[in-house]
Homo-oligomer: A and B are copies of this chain.
Amino acid sequence: MVARGNLLVGQSGGATAVINASLVGVIGAASSAPAIGSIVGMRHGIEGLLREDLIDLGRQSAATLARLRHTPSAVLGTGRHKLGADDLDRALALFRRHNIRSFIYIGGNDSADTAHRLHERASVSGYDLRVIAVPKTIDNDLPHTDHCPGYGSIARYLALATRDAGRDTEASPQLYPVKVIEVMGRNAGWVAAACALAREEGRDAPQLIFLPERPPTSFAALLDEIGAAVREQGFCVAIVPETLRDAAGRPLGGGERGFVDAFGHAYHPGVAPLLAERIKGELGLRARYDKPGTMARMSILAASTTDLAEAEEAGREAVRRATADESDLMITLDRVADAPYRITYGAVALERIANTERLLPDEYIGADGRSITDAFRRYALPLLGDPLPPYARLVEKAWPDAGNAAIER
């Protein structure tokens, strides 16, 4: 049993649909842990500690916590502060002053780096501190964990939204044959790949997924692929990551050069508006784009029940590890089986997480480089929670048919 002390928890990086569920897990487990005194929240991640902008999480009602489980975004506020050497000293002094003995940080790989450095700083000073990170990123790009809380929910959102975009586009291809959807995902294709998870048959969207792992050789090559898809199928829904680069590593979203308006202002529109415009100008095809942006990564409407439950349990597991005197670890979700889907919770050294990223493996990418494999479906579909609601297609019975006079029946 470790020394009685207080627990400090924060949220960091981009908000998600389930990062508050992890916080609820931390609060719930800490409330029933005899070794833990106060449960203290930092505002805007580590910035809140440095400013002593702290909040008493033990004073929140059960009703607030129940509601918080289904409230997206980061209720403590979030941040992206990179710790300097002075910050580390100050953080340690504050840990001592406030008798913080457990530090739980819910975030991605930058947060893992911050947590690891706090652990190291406490360790060299002989200050007894347990540091545990709870994984959180829609990008799903953390190594050594099967997947990351937050991913299943954006995957569900985008799978459904892409199916909708496909139905919309095929309803009026004579008006707008091309739809571009711009998605997040940093340098990895996990988020883009999820757009295909509601696809059931040949004509279903997306027709093309431009994965960062399989960049088009050039903007012109990308346009050619879209033109070919329209010629083949009559319409095309194309998924483009906001960070898409060509094979030489040049960003396709306007890049450093961008545009210049009539007043001489530089302008960097991002890849989707630029692509939609060039499809019109160079292919002569009317194109629209959707950019669900932060809505996609935070919508509670599409939150995966599996993701919500796992995010909360990962928070609980972090507290269990801290009270068992473990430290310098990130919680991992370890897959036991795909069907029926089952995971266990493990842990990995923070050092192995910080500042690394996991790209989409080759086995999940179709041979054409623009689609996903069944292996990816088996991996990803369980993360989306409840089965996706099925859509109807009409039975294609032409009227009047051959055996049916074209008059009253």
| Cβ of A227 under 8 Å from chain B | no
Partner of A294, one of B70, B72, B165, B268: B165
Complex: A171 Cα to B40 Cα, angstroms: 18
- Residue from the list B70, B161, B265, B389 in contact with A281, Cβ < 8 A: B265
Which of A57-65, A360-368, A371-379 interfaces with chain B? A57-65
Is B179 within 8 A of A294, CB to CB?
Answer: yes
Are B299 and A72 touching (Cβ within 8 A)?
Answer: no
**Are the CB atoms of A295 and B293 closer together than 8 Å?**
no
A55-B399, A73-B167, A291-B290 known; A38 vs B5 contact (CB < 8 Å): no
Residues of B within 8 A of A257 (CB): 262
Name the one of B266, B293, B391 contacting A67, with C-beta atoms under 8 angstroms. B391
Q: Give the one of A60, A160, A261, A274 with max B CB within 10 A.
A: A261
Whether B262 and A269, one on each chain, are in contact in the complex, defined by CB atoms closer than 8 angstroms, is no
Least CB distance from A177 to B in Å reads 13
Q: Report whether B290 and A293 are in contact in the complex, using a CB–CB cutoff of 8 Å.
A: yes
Residue of A76, A389, A394 with most partner-chain B CB within 10 A: A394
A171 with B74: CB separation less than 8 A: yes
Which of B265, B281, B289 is A291 in contact with, Cβ under 8 Å?
B289
- Once bound together, how far apart are the Cα atoms of A65 and B395, in whole Å? 11
Cross-chain contact A292 with B294 (CB below 8 angstroms) = no
A174 within 8 A of B: yes
A402 at the interface (CB under 8 A from B): no
Q: Does A341 contact B (CB under 8 A)?
A: no
With A54-B399, A55-B397, A400-B98 known as contacts, the answer to whether A277 contacts B269 (CB < 8 A) is yes
A200 is an interface residue with CB less than 8 A from chain B: no
